[in-house]
Structures are given as structure tokens and as C-alpha cells.
Amino acid sequence: MIETIRGKLIHSGKNRIILELHGIGYGIYVTDQLICTVQQTNAEDVFLWIYDCIKEDLHELYGFAAESEKKVFTILLSVSGIGPKLAMKILSDAGIELLLKAIREEDVSMLRSIKGLGEKTASRLILELKNKVSGLEISCNVGLEKISETFAIRADAAQALKTLGYKEQEIRQVLKECSGKALTLEETIRSALVFLSGK
């Protein structure tokens, strides 16, 4: 079981990087924020906490900048309907602090803005994890300012679309389509209007 890994960054792509250690390249799934972080820092010496997912026909590695991130990731996996890929998507879109805040405040709408997370799963996530995270104090600032900005932009875009007369269900759907993209408020609204006009 791999718990941590330290190696040289030799490749980074969408949601995945490759670290080389002793001549072996390890493919590791990571959050968008972590990809940006390792690209901007010392790529010769990258240290990650690892969740080693082993199944009958599958062996995947998921990497985290801090042990606290890995802890929240494993907590997410305890929810029925949430597998490693979706759990990583949730962390990538929301970040730890905003995710815990949404769970504690039972903010279903925020969770539903994450692409791939439907209403039933979002509600179940809150129901099953609220007690587990009630006393959990985690500080992990990797990409937090950018993440907070992203959700602020989505909230403003949703309000603008609502003012234009679009229904809540339409707005949720189109904002999920924009999830994971580094867009300004104007770009988000423009992309949303293009998507809605093509429906």
C-alpha cells in the first residue's frame, strides 16, 4: 500500500500528473489546484500523500498536498454513490473549507453546482457527513483564494441569469457545464447564454 510519494514531475495533464521515482513513472490523479501548484513550484521535488485505490481490475493513485485533504477524500468515499473520481472532482471544484462549510450549513445548492453531483447525492452527502465533520477543523490553503473566487463568480452569474428570467433548474445545469473552467464573471455569463440559446 502506497501512503506517500516524493518524486520529479515529468508530465501534467487534465486531473493527472506523472511523478518519476527511481526511474518509474507513477500516474497520479490530483485536483486542478494541485496541478497548478506543482507547475509553479519546484517540479524536481514533489511530495504527495497518496490514496491507493486497488480493485480486482483496477489500480489507481490519488494524490494530495496535505494529509488533511486525503482525510476529507476518504470521508467522501464513505458516502454511497461517491467513488474516487467523483470525490476528487468535488475537492477540485469546492476545496476543503468550502466543502465543509456547505456540509455544516446544509447548503445543497452549492454542492449541486459541482458537475456530476446531483440533488440526491448532494443531499445524502450532507445527511451522512454532517456529524462526521462537525468537529473537524482542517486548514489547507492550496488554491483556496482561487476556489473562493470561482464560487463567488458562479453565484453572481446565477443571480444575473435569474434576473434575465431563466429558471433555477436551467441555471444549475448550465453552471455545471462551466464547472472546472477558469472563467471571469463576464465569460461565465456569456458561455451560459450561448449554451442556453442552443438548447
For 84-118, the pLDDT digits (tens) are 999 999 988 887 878 888 888 888 888 888 877 88
Task: State whether 57 and 71 are in the same domain.
Answer: no
Q: Quote the cell numbers at residue 63.
A: 494524490
Determine the structural domain holding residue 48 and report its residue range. 4-64
Task: State whether 129 and 81 are in the same domain.
Answer: yes
Which residue from 4, 3, 30 is spatially nearest to 18, judged by alpha carbons? Answer: 30
Q: Which CATH number do you get for residue 92?
A: 1.10.150.20
Domains contained in the chain, number: 3
Q: Is the pTM of this model over 0.75?
A: no
Task: State whether 46 and 88 are in the same domain.
Answer: no
CA 8 to CA 77: how far, in whole Å? 29
**Residue 139 domain-assigned?**
no
CA 136 to CA 100: how far, in whole Å? 9
Task: State whether 74 and 109 are in the same domain.
Answer: yes
pLDDT at 58: 85
**Residue 138 domain-assigned?**
no
Burial class (CB in 10 A: 0-12, 13-18, 19+), 143: buried
Instruction: Assign 93 to helix, strand or coil.
Output: helix
**Residue 102 domain-assigned?**
yes
Query: Could you tell me the pLDDT band of residue 152, with boundaries at 50, 70 and 90?
Result: low
Q: What are the pLDDT digits (tens) for 6-64?
A: 999 998 888 899 999 999 999 999 988 788 777 666 577 889 999 999 888 889 999 99
24, 40, 64 - which closes a domain: 64
**Residue 174 domain-assigned?**
yes
pLDDT at 199: 55
Task: State whether 128 and 73 are in the same domain.
Answer: yes
Distant-in-sequence, close-in-space partners of 194: CB < 8 Å, separation ≥ 6: none
Q: Which CATH number do you get for residue 39?
A: 2.40.50.140
